[in-house]
Amino acid sequence: MSSEDSPAGDDRIEFYWRLALRWWRTILVCTAIAPIITLMVSSTLVPWSFCAEAAIKPLPTQSNLTNMSMFENLQTALGQNIAEQAKEYVSILQSFTFAKLMLGHNPAVYAMIFTPAEAARLRSASKVEREWKAYENISRRLTCYYDNTGGVLRLRYVSHDRETAETMLTIVVNDLIADVRDRDIATYTAQIKSLQDHANHTSDELLRSDIYEIIAKRMEQLTTAEASALTTFRIIETPYVPLDPYVPRPFLYGLVSAAVMPFVLFGLIVVYEKTASFVREQSAARMRSSNGFDKSASALKVPTAVQARIDSAHD
């Protein structure tokens, strides 16, 4: 395609029309082949999947204390908004540390997330590499988000086996509850120690009385957290797997690929033609000398009459 075929102003539609006339056979063939390939791949290579689901409701990790004039700001700082807690729990679930915690509590997780061939290859790998591969595998299969409408944390785990999906999500929920519980116990213990130190170093009797009241409430919360694993969550929906698995829909995928392919291919053709035209223009420009003489192939061609005289002189 020559440079004058490049779109400029009103010629743009004509440029695209010429491209369509030139490439329509290629576009038609590719549009016919794309859904066939998509149908074959989606019906043979894409396996069925089972998605386990669960819902848990975060509870305030630190109960609101009774109003006390001198410690109202402290109480506000110690309390947490449930939505903020949920964001923290989502971050925990998506962290490498939580994956390590799951592997430490449940060594059988390796067998559920890796095929026998993959597990055999990882036996010779270092512990860090095995943990990182497990983390990547779990991250691809586990999704979680906070549902503002219901105020619950929703978790999903996808696997090619129904039992594995439900077992893995149960492990995730149990380890999350245990991890948050351990964090709360550590937090309460540190707070009690800090408040006791503060009470021992103050001479204000009223202030000391307020501090001891807070310590008493923290001791109560610590005792409850140590006795129960459900101080920070209420299980709304235990892990379950719906009856119907995720099944690939090859005909739908093929129809979508047939509808999208002409536009994608035509866009690639436009880019190709514009790039080729630009390269040809740049090549022609480089053949012109800096003093204005045209050294292109057409300019350097010897005139026919002159060439004839040169040939007769040689003869």
pLDDT tens across 209-257, in order? 888 788 888 787 777 766 665 667 888 999 999 887 776 777 888 899 8
Question: What would the 3-class secondary structure string for 44-83 be?
Answer: HCCCCEEEEEEEEEECCCCCCCCCCHHHHHHHHHHCCCHH
pLDDT of residue 61: 56
pLDDT of residue 209: 82
Q: Model's pTM, two decimal places? A: 0.59
Lowest mean pLDDT among 145-159, 197-211, 278-292: 278-292
Tens of pLDDT along 277-314? 888 877 777 765 544 555 555 555 555 655 566 666 65
pLDDT of residue 191: 82
Indicate the domain borders of the chain.
3-46+248-314, 50-179+229-240
Distances (CA, A) of 218 to 16, 67, 185: 74, 15, 10
The fold for domain 50-179+229-240 equals Bacterial polysaccharide co-polymerase-like (3.30.1890)
pLDDT of residue 132: 92
Tens of pLDDT along 6-55? 445 557 788 888 888 888 899 899 999 998 998 888 777 777 889 999 99
Tens of pLDDT along 41-77? 877 777 788 999 999 988 765 544 333 333 444 444 4
Highest mean pLDDT among 85-89, 93-97, 125-129, 196-200: 93-97
**Beta bridge pairs of residue 153:** 56, 146
Quick check: 22 and 28 in contact, CB under 8 A?
no
Distances (CA, A) of 284 to 7, 78, 223, 272, 301: 19, 74, 85, 18, 15
